[in-house]
Structure 1
């Protein structure tokens, strides 16, 4: 993927290719290059410019995955002290899109999870508003929980996403993360899975949905019905956990 050099004057909301702007931002974060032109372009965009991410599920999914992961890394770099309080970290201003200041919670729960609360195991609506209208919301996709990196040691590695291949890349990210973290105990017919599966069990369609995913990815035998155990989450601050 080609990218204009950092700080180029022609990167404005009027000429940025919106289907790839978030990917370009994430790549610059990874390379530790200048990000302000792209951040400014996101902030100055309007609904017309952002129509691709509001009308195309794959474009929206790739866009917000990249925005979230880029914004997290920038927040960890610029305001590392916030991570000492997870409440403050997730509610702090992380990125501005279309003139609206967004927190990481806004992006994940208000947009990517379609306005669901981070509490209530994925079954409750989110009462807080993001400031962006409902056309930006996505239908919840449980695979995002194996793709969003909030800066903790237990988070998945960061990948970059393109609209054309976002589903395939999410499948790969999900399989890779579960392959690293799932432990099946055949003697007791129980399986340990990441803690996010408990926090957002409703996104997965309940415990049976989690098991269906484990069957699909061959993490447990097809004729088993294991009990679920949830690993503790390691909140050690771990910035720049990019996939190789």
Structure 2
């Protein structure tokens, strides 16, 4: 009994010390029955294989207007388009995914759903210095999909990660400086594979990682979600798929501190 209690204590302390999107959003959360299809080894971009093609034009317009090419967000100006954002969120709510949706449509839908509701969360609590200052940011069920409500953590951990596509970690944005940038275009089934490649290439080759042939100081994302990146090799193998500079095998990886300050245009 004492040993079990000690192990539990160590586990809880570990979670508290590693305050990441992954750990904050995973405990006790489910998909709420929403479907997720595993991504094939070779994902292609297409709209031709789905029962539904979701129109993300409103979100695309909002992103182009309020998000800079570097991913920084003008939340003050975004607030002026609250009506349009609400219209988009309502549309997403009315488009509950089914198993008849293609994997491309599911990926685009869930990524845009996560990102749009993250922006919505920030706007509801604005001004705020960090998303971590918002209680239950990843665990509260406030994302409406059909007659269900799900949390951001549920979307991330119980849907998107179950699709076995590690590039989603570079596409979803948690409104923080160290996060992969919020792309200023909506994800769509017609371009999903190219968009995920772009997100991975831009993030891995950005200042979020310090990479050379003989050293690798990587984003903590590669630590928190290590399991996702090592299905078919090592973390270095995965990074080298997208990195301009190839890291030598066997190099010791260290991880950068995570900056949770809001990704806001000042």
TM-score (norm: length of structure 2): 0.64
Q: Is the 8 A contact 1:68 1:104 kept in 2?
A: yes
166, 181, 191: which one aligns with 1:157: 181
Give yes or no for contact 1:73–1:240 (8 Å, CA) kept in 2.
Answer: no
Query: Residue 207 and residue 200 in structure 1: after superposition, are their counterparts in 2 closer, same or farther (change >3 A)?
Result: farther
Question: Aligned equivalents of 1:208 and 1:94: distance in 2?
Answer: 36
Secondary structure of the residue that 1:67 maps to in structure 2? helix
RCO (CA 8 Å, sep 6+): is it higher in 1 or 2?
Answer: 2
1:193 counterpart = 2:243: no
Distance 1:167 1:65, change over 3 A: same
Asked if the contact 1:54–1:60 (Cα under 8 Å) also holds between the matched residues in 2, the reply is: no
**Deviates further, 219-228 or 60-69:** 219-228
Structure 1: where are the runs of 5+ without partners?
Answer: 1-16, 115-138
**Which one of the candidate residues 238, 253, 257 is aligned to 1:213?**
238
2-structure distance, mates of 1:58, 1:185: 34
Answer yes or no: is 1:111 the counterpart of 2:144: no
In structure 2, C-alpha distance between the alignment counterparts of 1:143 and 1:199, rounded to whole Å: 14
- Counterparts of 1:214 and 1:45 in 2: how far apart (Å)? 35
For residues 79 and 54 of structure 1, do their structure 2 counterparts lie closer, same or farther at Cα, with a shift above 3 Å needed? farther
Q: What is the CA-CA distance between 1:35 and the residue it aligns to?
A: 2.4
Q: Which residue of 2 aligns with 1:57?
A: 103
Aligned partner of 1:19 among 50, 53, 75: 53
Q: CA RMSD in A?
A: 2.8
TM-score scaled to structure 1, two decimals? 0.69
Q: Name the SS of the counterpart of 1:150 in structure 2.
A: coil
In the alignment of these two chains, the number of paired residues is: 194
Question: Are 2:131 and 2:260, in contact at CA under 8 Å, matched by a contact in 1?
Answer: no
The 3 A distance-change label for structure 1 pair 170 and 146 is same
Alignment CA distance shift 1:239-1:76 (3 Å): farther
How far did 1:190 drift? 2.4
Give the conservation status (yes or no) of the 8 Å contact 1:151–1:238: yes
Give the equivalent residue in structure 2 for 1:3: none
Mapped to 2, the partners of 1:185 and 1:28 lie a distance apart of 37
CA distance in 1, matches of 2:264, 2:140: 17
- Per-residue CA deviations over 1:175-229 (Å, capped at 9, x if unaligned) read 011101332344xx22111110000000011694321122222444365432111
Q: Give secondary structure in 1 for the equivalent of 2:253.
A: strand
Q: Decide whether aligned partners of structure 1 residues 75 and 28 sit closer, same or farther in structure 2, where only a CA change above 3 A counts.
A: farther
Q: Residue 70 of structure 2 aligns with which residue? A: none
Between the aligned partners of 1:156 and 1:230, the Cα distance in structure 2 is 15
CA distance in 2, matches of 1:206, 1:87: 33
- Gaps of at least 5 residues in structure 2 are 1-50, 66-77
Q: Structure 1 CA distance, aligned partners of 2:141 and 2:58? A: 17
Deviation of 1:142 after TM superposition, in Å, equals 1.0
